[in-house]
Amino acid sequence: MYIGSENDQPNRTKQVILSFGEMELYFIGLRLGYLHLLTEGELEKELSDLGPEPLNGHLTYKAWLDLIGEKRGRLKITLLDQQFIAGIGNCYSDEICFGARLMPTKQADTLDEGMQKDLYDAIQSVLQRALGFGGYMDQPLYKGDTFTGGYNNHCFVYDREGESCGRCGETICFEEVSSRKCFYCPGCQRE
């Protein structure tokens, strides 16, 4: 999304433009998504199948243990599952696995209690850190916006293929996991 005016708009294809007087809200890159106008009740129903929001205080460590204890599959894919936990995308899943020192390909049902705790702590710290830097976004939200997307320059592994790991010095690797980009450090993330 981008907020601007007719004279100040991104030079990209805009799928939807909402006008608010002289200001306009541009929706960019919705080719694979949808934009819905919903009532409050419809919105509640639409979002009802989402997993817990990790930073609102409802995802306590005890709730996390109940949640992760039932999961199978690779951590990367598990963290991307919005019905499992809401709001974690490609970038954050890699950064969380790095923070927990776990390979994104590790099976969720093989985590011991220490690894489950490391993963929970990494979810909390990575998302808080990302918020502090303005999150991961491709474009600024408005002209002169130097905050939105600031986390892009502070990622430890995401989009850092071939660079040295700041923690152990190994070379950061890239591979596709279930058709998703995946970045990790083979030196300090354990299987």
Per-residue confidence (pLDDT) for residue 144, from 0 to 100: 81
Per-residue confidence (pLDDT) for residue 120, from 0 to 100: 97
Q: For tokens 């152990």, name the residue.
A: 168
Q: What does DSSP assign to residue 71?
A: -
Per-residue confidence (pLDDT) for residue 1, from 0 to 100: 79
Other Cβ atoms within 10 Å of 125 Cβ, number: 14
Please give the structure tokens belonging to residue 109: 């049902």
CA–CA dist 105, 102 (Å, integer): 8
Positions in the chain short of pLDDT 50 = none
Q: Is the CB of residue 73 less than 8 Å from the CB of residue 108?
A: yes
CA–CA dist 51, 84 (Å, integer): 5
**What distance, in Å, lies between the first and last C-alpha atoms of the chain?**
38
Question: What pLDDT digit, counting tens, does each position of 24-79 carry?
Answer: 888 877 666 677 889 999 999 999 999 999 999 889 999 999 999 888 899 999 99
Per-residue confidence (pLDDT) for residue 17, from 0 to 100: 83
Per-residue confidence (pLDDT) for residue 140, from 0 to 100: 77
Which CATH fold would you assign to the domain 52-184?
Helicase, Ruva Protein; domain 3 (1.10.8)
Classify residue 85 by burial, with Cβ atoms within 10 Å: 0-12, 13-18, 19+: buried
Instruction: Give me the sheet containing 2-4, strands edge to edge.
Output: 2-4, 23-28, 14-20
Q: Is the CB of residue 76 less than 8 Å from the CB of residue 183?
A: no
| This prediction's pTM | 0.85
Whole-angstrom CA distances from 26 to 23, 35, 93, 140, 172 are 10, 12, 27, 12, 35
Per-residue confidence (pLDDT) for residue 97, from 0 to 100: 98
Per-residue confidence (pLDDT) for residue 31, from 0 to 100: 64
Q: What does DSSP assign to residue 14?
A: E
